[in-house]
């Protein structure tokens, strides 16, 4: 079978071509895990693969708690989404602990 006219990202059972002995061979990126790719899959489809690209991390947010234990977060955006079975996107959000130390913390009112 040949992937000449069709390459699909991810797992897609509808992305196949007629193979040897009436069996299907597949042209989705999942076929590499299952071992049932059409013989020209790598040459035809992987060439078109585009891995995910992301922008820089944004700034950390302020601490969620003005006094005591809280958390900060930051994020980044996808600049190029993965296509045709390219590498998936890495984490887009990060969180870390912080200790709020506002000047009024610990003062009695």
Question: Model confidence at 32, in pLDDT bands (50, 70, 90)?
Answer: confident
**CATH fold group of domain 53-101:** TSP-1 type 1 repeat (2.20.100)
Cα–Cα distances (Å) from 52 to 5, 58, 73, 79, in that order, read 23, 18, 22, 8
Joined tokens for residue 92:
């887009």
- Enumerate residues 6+ apart whose C-beta is below 8 A from 5: none
pTM (2 d.p.): 0.54
Alpha-carbon gap, residue 19 to 40, rounded angstroms: 11
In this predicted structure, what is the pLDDT of residue 42?
Answer: 86
Q: Which residue has the higher pLDDT, 21 or 95?
A: 95
In terms of Cα–Cα distance, which of 85, 82, 83 is closest to 41? 85
Overall average pLDDT of the 40-69 stretch? 87
pLDDT at residue 47 above 70? no
Query: Rounded mean pLDDT of 45-49?
Result: 71
**Per-residue confidence (pLDDT) for residue 61, from 0 to 100:** 95
Residue with tokens 């002995």: 21
In the chain, ranges of CATH 2.20.100.10 domains: 53-101
Q: In the structure, what pLDDT confidence band is assigned to residue 85 with cuts at 50, 70 and 90?
A: low
């Amino acid at each position: 079978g040949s992937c000449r006219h069709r390459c699909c990202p991810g797992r897609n059972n509808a992305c196949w071509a007629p193979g040897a002995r009436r069996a299907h061979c597949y042209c989705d990126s999942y076929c590499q895990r299952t071992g049932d790719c059409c013989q020209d899959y790598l040459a035809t489809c992987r060439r078109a693969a585009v891995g995910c690209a992301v922008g820089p991390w944004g700034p950390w947010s302020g601490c969620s708690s003005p006094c005591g234990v809280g958390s900060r977060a930051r994020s980044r955006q996808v600049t190029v989404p993965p296509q045709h079975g390219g590498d998936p996107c890495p984490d887009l959000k990060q969180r870390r602990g912080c200790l709020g130390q506002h000047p009024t913390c610990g003062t009695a009112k």
